[in-house]
Structure 1
């Protein structure tokens, strides 16, 4: 069983306008509303592929009710952790004249110590059949920066493999407790190993540095439109991404994680999981808002990736 955790979800609002002009009243297109936040998007991706997961997330205020309705629309299995604060909104505007995308996010509601304890309690009661816990998204205000580390230790004690997808100190705190898999981008990986930037073979060396420190067993480095790099102690594989027309990058990273954990839950190899992840992440960029992708789109891209991956070793 796969469980996703989203401590700082959002109601994602997306729209488009011909051009962003300061001080002018801009007439935007009818907005699209989606349930957002890292873990929720991962669960949506798993559901798109025909899989099942339990989405665990906080929700509060009128926006929390809207979020719940949007999750209901997605037909996801979920469990709410009620909070007093108002669930945040995120706002994405696409400028149609340039195809540039502008993304606006807010910090989210402050989580009280009692609400934090409710989160830990909910996690302690996960079914014994839980194989993977995907911790994804930002840490909301009010929680200590080592909170993902606390969750990681608790999940490991329950025999659950942790997949972490976040950034900064919350990411480092989880890694220091030893996770199964992490998905940093190049910038995040560089910061984790104390470098300003990474190029070429430095990327796989930095990933192995995390593995040798026992911070994780698997690193999948997100390379954006170039694909991803899968690294373990004895495996180094570059997975290229097909060139597609990009409409929105929102949810692409979450789709990558969703594809990977779905495949792992189906008993697929790490290589097969990473390839499906890149296919799902790429497919998500072809859709607006946080619609993510359809299975057929991911399947078509996966066929291309499987043809290319055997002959491409460097990026």
Structure 2
């Protein structure tokens, strides 16, 4: 089994509450209060470790909220490398309204990171010792959009494979740098990268295959929400329809997908099997409200339902 490391440049303290009804102005009493360490890479590490793998979490942490994030990471028994910054770690809120079963999510942009701080982060990452680096989540203000591309240039000469899950300009720069094992855009993120509307599975498949054929990534997994997911690789494209489940939350589905797919690849599963496991994990993550992410038993249950269309 290969070991991974994850990078979270814009982590969160994820807090979730339940409330009877959301009303403006009024004080709303909540219950089921829960705190968890969050942000793309940290979420990936949480699920990867649950599945029996080894993962080191690299992340930025600072301000008065930084120690709280560090403590939550420790509670989840994650091996960590904290990269200190001055700005406070952001806090994201997930609110479940019982009356409607609707979910409300509030996510700040994150702290400003100085050039000295992100340059130091590159120096720390240059010493990473792992088989695969999973770079996941947004970049905070102040960090250049080609940051993930810079990390790729540092680590690929060491033989470390790269997985990328981000959006916008950071995604574009990362893909253009190339040499990726796996990139996981959403349908909308792939359309933005491609610069055109992708209004059919065929169009999505062609856009994903263009990345593979250009040698930018060996695997491109496109998540499509309630429609399903598509994998592009050297042998072509495979579409998996969304599983017929009742979603209670949208938190962590993509991160769970990445964690489970990478875990399967690390243990030697073939690309299509790993893709099916990723789809199962993404579905497992939304079964329960809040920020708990996918659980192995739920992934196994969902796996029996994840078959190609």
Query: Is TM-score (shorter-chain normalized) higher than 0.5?
Result: yes
Q: In structure 2, what is the Cα distance between the partners aligned to 1:180 and 1:294?
A: 25
Q: In structure 1, what is the Cα distance between the partners aligned to 2:137 and 2:305?
A: 30
RMSD: 1.3
Distance 1:9 1:287, change over 3 A: same
* Equivalent position of 1:12 in the other structure: 14
What are the residue-to-residue correspondences of 1:1-315 with 2, within 5 Å? 1-127=3-129, 130-178=130-178, 179-305=180-306, 308-309=307-308, 312=309
1:66 match: secondary structure: helix
1:236 match: secondary structure: strand
- CA offset at residue 147 of structure 1? 1.2
TM-score, structure 2 as length reference: 0.95
1:239-260: CA deviations, max 9, x gaps?
A: 2332222111101100000001
Q: In structure 2, what is the Cα distance between the partners aligned to 1:172 and 1:31?
A: 37
1:129-178: CA deviations, max 9, x gaps?
A: x2211100000111111111111211212221111101000111111100
Check the 8 A contact 1:264/1:270 in 2, yes or no: yes
Check the 8 A contact 2:96/2:289 in 1, yes or no: no
Check the 8 A contact 2:19/2:28 in 1, yes or no: yes
- CA offset at residue 75 of structure 1? 1.1
Check the 8 A contact 1:58/1:81 in 2, yes or no: yes
Check the 8 A contact 2:39/2:137 in 1, yes or no: yes
- CA offset at residue 30 of structure 1? 4.1
1:203-257: CA deviations, max 9, x gaps?
A: 1011112223332221101022333111113231122332222111101100000
Check the 8 A contact 1:287/1:293 in 2, yes or no: no
1:81-125: CA deviations, max 9, x gaps?
A: 111111010011111111111111111111111211221111111
- CA offset at residue 68 of structure 1? 1.1
Q: In structure 2, what is the Cα distance between the partners aligned to 1:250 and 1:101?
A: 10
Structure 2: 5+ residue runs without aligned partners? none
Q: In structure 1, what is the Cα distance between the partners aligned to 2:142 and 2:282?
A: 31
1:97 match: secondary structure: coil
Q: In structure 2, what is the Cα distance between the partners aligned to 1:289 and 1:34?
A: 10
Q: In structure 2, what is the Cα distance between the partners aligned to 1:21 and 1:86?
A: 29
Q: In structure 1, what is the Cα distance between the partners aligned to 2:143 and 2:152?
A: 15
- CA offset at residue 23 of structure 1? 2.2
Which stretches of structure 1, 4 residues or more, deviate above 3 A after TM superposition?
none
Structure 1: 5+ residue runs without aligned partners? none
